[in-house]
Amino acid sequence: MPVIISVVGHSGSGKTTLIVKLVREFKKRHYRVGTIKHAHHGFDIDKKGKDSYVHKKAGADAVMLVGPEAIAMVKDQLDSTLSDLELYFSDMDVVLVEGFKRENNPKIEVFRSDSGEDPLLVKDNLIAFVTDSDVNCPAPKFGLDDTEQLADMIIEKFITSPI
């Protein structure tokens, strides 16, 4: 099974932007990438301008949206069963999840100094803090444009070589 990494942060912090950058970086390195967007209030699938559309256009091989009343997925060459969400991504090297901060998986927090909010600094499984601030954090800190270095760290700690 692939590593599943959640990207968390306040609304407008840049979670989607970071995921798109990471998808492009992993694709450049020939990794198979899936994304999951947690849609708290429901969703319309794959409309131009929506986050799922942006993830797919960035090159994600699979995109899944999970909402309170439905699950939707866009995946190239669907060959998995419907028994479990993870099974949809069994052929991926990495799955980047926007949200699901309460789940027990590795997390990257995105925080912008001009947000007017305090960082979440999630306690469980925080593997990286992506920010433009000088906030102290126990996890490794990366700048908003340090995508290559963040990808290097994720690969080193969590991902085997590409399929």
What count of Cα atoms within 13 Å lies in the side-chain half-sphere of residue 147? 16
Domains of the chain: 3-158 (3.40.50.300)
The per-residue pLDDT for range 22-39, each reduced to its tens digit, is 999 999 999 999 998 877
Q: What pLDDT score was predicted for residue 49?
A: 83
Arithmetic mean of pLDDT, 85-107: 86
| Entry pTM | 0.79
Q: What is the pLDDT of residue 81?
A: 29
Banded pLDDT at 70 (limits 50, 70, 90) = confident
| Residue 28 vs residue 121, higher pLDDT | 28
Is 96 or 41 the better-scoring residue by pLDDT?
96
